[in-house]
Amino acid sequence: MMDNKSSDPIIQLDNVSKVYQMGKVEVPALRGVDLTIWPGELTAIVGASGSGKTTLMNVIGCLDLPTEGTYHLRDRDVSTYNDRQLSKLRGDDIGFVFQNYSLLTQHSAFHNVQIPRYYATGHGDSRRAKELLAQVGLSDRARHKPTELSGGEQQRVAIARALMNDPFLLLADEPTGNLDSVSGQEVMDLLKELNRERGLTVLLVSHDPEVSAQARRVITLHDGRIVSDEQRP
C-alpha cells in the first residue's frame, strides 16, 4: 500500500508550458513544469496569486491543454485526445471541487450529486447519491437546495458530486477558500479520509498554510515554475 512507486504514476508532466495569448501579448502561466504524482498521494500546491496554480490544475484536469510539453494521465498521452475524448475522460476519471462549490442553485443536493452520472449516462443513480450523501454526513440534507445549506455543507455536496463516477483522481482548487476555519477543517478531514481509506489520489490548491500543512507532499509554484517539492514522513 505504501509502496506506491512500484506502480505507474497517475500524473506525469514533462516540460509542460502554458502560454495565454492576450491579443498580441503572451502571458506565460507555466514554464517547463516536470511533475510526477503517484497513486494514493495527497498533495498540496501552494504559491502566490498568479503563480500558475489554477492553470496547472486546469491542465491536469484536462480542462486546458499545454502549449508545450507532454502530459500523461495514467499512461495515456492526453495531448493526442480530441475534445470529445477529453470530456469523457474528465467525466469518468476525475472529480472536481471548486472554491465556489459550483452547485446548480435550483436543484437539491440529491440532484446535484447525480449530475456527473447524468452527463455520463443520461440517467441518475439515486442509490449511489444516497450513499455518497451519507458518506459526507449529509443524509438529512438531501432535499435542501444550495441556498438552504451552509458553505461547508455545500462543499461537502460538491465533494459527493465529484465522487459520483468513482474517479481515481480528485482535484480541488482552493476547496476551503470560502469557508470559516471549522467548516474548512471538516472539508479537509473529509478529503484526508477519502485519501486514506479509499486510496483516492487528491491534489489540492490552497494558500492557507494550515491546510497545506495537512498534505504529505507540498509543491510550491513561483512564476509558473516548481520551486520546491517537499515530502513529509
Which residues bind to ligand ADP, rule: CB under 6 A?
20, 22, 27, 29, 47, 49-55
Does 108 interact with Mg ion (rule: CB under 5 A)?
no
Secondary structure of the chain as H, E, C letters = CCCHHHCCCCEEEEEEEEEEEECCEEEEEEEEEEEEECCCCEEEEECCCCCCHHHHHHHHCCCCCCCEEEEEECCEEHHHCCHHHHHHHHHHHEEEEECCCCCCCCCCHHHHHHHHHHHHHCCCCHHHHHHHHHHCCCHHHCCCCHHHCCHHHHHHHHHHHHCCCCCCEEEEECCCCCCCHHHHHHHHHHHHHHHHHHCCEEEEECCCHHHHCCCCEEEEEECCEEEEEEECC
Min CB(7)–Mg ion separation in Å: 30
Min CB(114)–ligand ADP separation in Å: 29
Measured from the CB atom, the residue of 14 and 64 that comes closer to ligand ADP is 64
- From ligand ADP, Mg ion, none, interface partner of 51 (C-beta below 5 to 8 A by class): ligand ADP
- Sole binder of Mg ion in the list 12, 43, 51, 54 (CB under 5 A): 54
Measured from the CB atom, the residue of 50 and 91 that comes closer to ligand ADP is 50
Min CB(30)–ligand ADP separation in Å: 8
Min CB(102)–Mg ion separation in Å: 14
Measured from the CB atom, the residue of 23 and 122 that comes closer to ligand ADP is 23
Kindly list the residues in this chain that would bind Mg ion in the complex (CB under 5 A): 53-54
